[in-house]
């Protein structure tokens, strides 16, 4: 079964760096672009990283993405209270020929 696995929660203090992982397989992360979304409470998701490491205009350079094999990571440096949100990874899966979305990671800024 094709799935993207994220840790359910993560936490950090202001100023710290935090990394959220997303584990997949050859049919998705291994061969396709990875996307990351931030969802603040009561709002629609917002794209923060596309094609693995690209940042849309307006997204601070504190947000960065990387990929190694069948895993991807989102790193937020200089953590700020406004970064507290749910973060989802996503990638196309060549096996099922549909998008896959990770279960999400709830980031708490202490």
Partner 1 sequence: DVQLVGSGGGLVQPGRSLRLSCVGSGFTFGDYAMHWVRQVPGKGLEWVSGIGWRSGNIDYADSVKGRFTISRDDSENTLYLQMNSLRAGDTAFYYCAKAEGSYSGYLFDSWGQGILVTVSS
Structure tokens at 71: 């895993």
Distance of CA 12 to the CA centre of its chain: 16
Which CB atom, from 50 or from 77, has the smaller least distance to partner 1?
50
Q: How far, in Å, CA of 21 to CA of 8, rounded?
A: 10
User: Which tokens belong to 76?
Assistant: 């937020």
The verdict on 101 binding partner 1 (CB under 8 A) reads yes
**Among 73, 83, 104, 107, which residue interacts with partner 1 (rule: CB under 8 A)?**
104
Q: Is 69 exposed, middle or buried (0-12, 13-18, 19+ CB in 10 A)?
A: exposed
Return the number of the residue (47 or 75) whose C-beta is nearest partner 1: 47
Assign 81 to helix, strand or coil. helix
Q: Which residues 36-65 are close enough to bind partner 1 by CB under 8 A?
A: 37, 39, 44-47, 50-51, 56
Q: Closer to partner 1 at the Cβ: 27 or 71? A: 27
Residues that bind partner 1 (CB under 8 A): 32-33, 35, 37, 39, 44-47, 50-51, 56, 88, 90-92, 97-104
């Amino acid at each position: 079964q094709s799935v993207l696995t994220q840790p359910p929660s993560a936490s950090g203090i202001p100023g710290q760096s935090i990394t959220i992982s997303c584990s997949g397989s050859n049919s998705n992360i291994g061969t396709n672009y990875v996307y990351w979304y931030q969802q603040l409470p009561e709002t629609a998701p917002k794209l923060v990283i596309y094609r693995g490491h690209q940042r849309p205009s307006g997204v601070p350079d504190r947000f960065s993405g990387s990929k190694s094999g069948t895993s991807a990571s989102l790193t937020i440096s200089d953590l700020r209270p406004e970064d507290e949100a749910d973060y989802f990874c996503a990638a196309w899966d060549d096996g099922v020929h549909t998008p896959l979305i990770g279960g999400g990671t709830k980031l708490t800024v202490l």
